[in-house]
Amino acid sequence: DRGADPLLSVDQALMQFGGLKALAGVDLTVRPGTIHGLIGPNGSGKSTMMNVLTGIYRPTGGSVTLARGQGTKRLDGRTPSEIAAAGVARTFQNVQLFREMTALENVLVGLHHSFRGTLFDAILGTPRRRREEREQRARAMAILDFVGLGALAQVEARNLPYGKQRLLEIGRALALDPVLLLLDEPAAGLTAPDIAELTTIIRKIRDAGITVILIEHHMDVVMGLCDRVSVLDFGHKIAEGSAREVQADPKVVEAYLGS
Ligand code: ADP
Ligand code: MG
């Protein structure tokens, strides 16, 4: 049953900073087409896991493997751009947009990674180049519509309300055409209506066939969205299961109370 094969397999991920093991040998299996929650108290290693998965940190030990077609591809030891090209996109815990650029331009930056024109086309502005540019703008607009920002395409990122900036970050990540999207606390600092909109969009992303790993503090968002949840505490995975199961797990309750 190929459908049951994991999209992402993390085996004994170890991330050591001096004497501190931010990840102390963590296994993680993410099934395709799911929203996989990653939760845990502050400092438990969630963002470190994101940074290991996207090549910002090179793990001290263990392996990260992504399913690709009929085969697999090792991601550990690769650069962030190689990992992005393999189909893994992310947003950051703190919004990182090009603030002076419009929403549309921010998404176009993401798309340019996949631009196929030659230098010759770029210098001479050939018909092929102009056609590709039109297509890129149409794709960028489609992505903005998908995240509910179509009407704000020409607004500079810094002038968007905070909730819209978070959606734009997701749009820019989607421009990479990922198979796996990593979201690091996307609901942090958002109002209740913004969280409702975000939740709808994350569900739409999953329904479009993109697998999602979601780091989130809001337990109601985790409960409403996640097909499966892994819980970290002090760099160890202490629980895993459905959102309902982990929420009722005494080890999880204790970890949060102790924090
Ligand atoms: P979380 O995202 O779950 O709140 P982090 O992954 O950011 O936790 O951090 C886990 C632990 O690793 C913390 O103790 C943090 O201080 C430490 N840590 C994370 N990144 C670094 C780094 N670059 N250098 C040193 N320590 C780090
Ligand atoms: Mg974090």
Neighbours of ion ligand 2 (CB under 5 A): 46-47
pTM value?
0.93
**Ligand 1 centroid – CA 10 distance (Å):** 18
What's the CA gap between 146 and 205, in Å, rounded?
9
Provide the greatest CA pair distance for the chain: 65
Angle of CA points 138, 142, 147, to nearest 5°:
150
Ligand 1 first shell, C-beta below 6 A: 17, 20, 22, 40, 42-48
| Structure-block tokens of residue 2 | 């190929």
Check residue 2 and give its pLDDT: 44
Give me the domains of the chain, ranges plus CATH numbers: 1-87+178-259 (3.40.50.300), 98-176 (no CATH)
Angle of CA points 144, 113, 86, to nearest 5°:
100
- Of 5 and 215, the structure prediction assigns the larger pLDDT to 215
Name which residue sits closest to atom 21 of ligand 1, judged by CA: 17
Name which residue sits closest to atom 25 of ligand 1, judged by CA: 17
Name which residue sits closest to atom 18 of ligand 1, judged by CA: 22
Is 118 a residue whose pLDDT tops 80?
Answer: no
What single letter denotes the amino acid at residue 157?
A
Check residue 1 and give its pLDDT: 40
Which band of pLDDT confidence, cut at 50, 70 and 90, is reported for residue 129? confident
Element (H, E) at 36: strand 35-39
What's the CA gap between 83 and 178, in Å, rounded?
10
Burial of 45 (0-12, 13-18, 19+ CB in 10 A): buried
- Distance of CA 209 to CAs 3, 35, 168, 223, Å? 13, 10, 20, 20
Which residues does residue 8 pair with via DSSP β-bridges, in sequence order? 30, 66
Q: Dihedral sign, CA of 44, 86, 182, 103?
A: positive
SS3 content of the chain, % helix, strand, coil (to 5): 45, 25, 30
For residue 20, which ligand has an atom nearest its CA? 1
What's the CA gap between 51 and 28, in Å, rounded?
14
Other CB atoms within a 10 A radius of the CB of residue 38 amount to 28
First to last CA, the chain: 41
Tens of pLDDT along 55-83? 999 999 999 999 988 889 999 999 999 99
Pocket test for ligand 1, best of 17, 39, 214 (most atoms within 8 A of CB): 17
Tell me the pairing of strands 35-39 and 211-215.
parallel
Cα 228 to chain center, whole Å? 16
What's the CA gap between 170 and 185, in Å, rounded?
12
Name which residue sits closest to atom 12 of ligand 1, judged by CA: 22
Which band of pLDDT confidence, cut at 50, 70 and 90, is reported for residue 166? very high
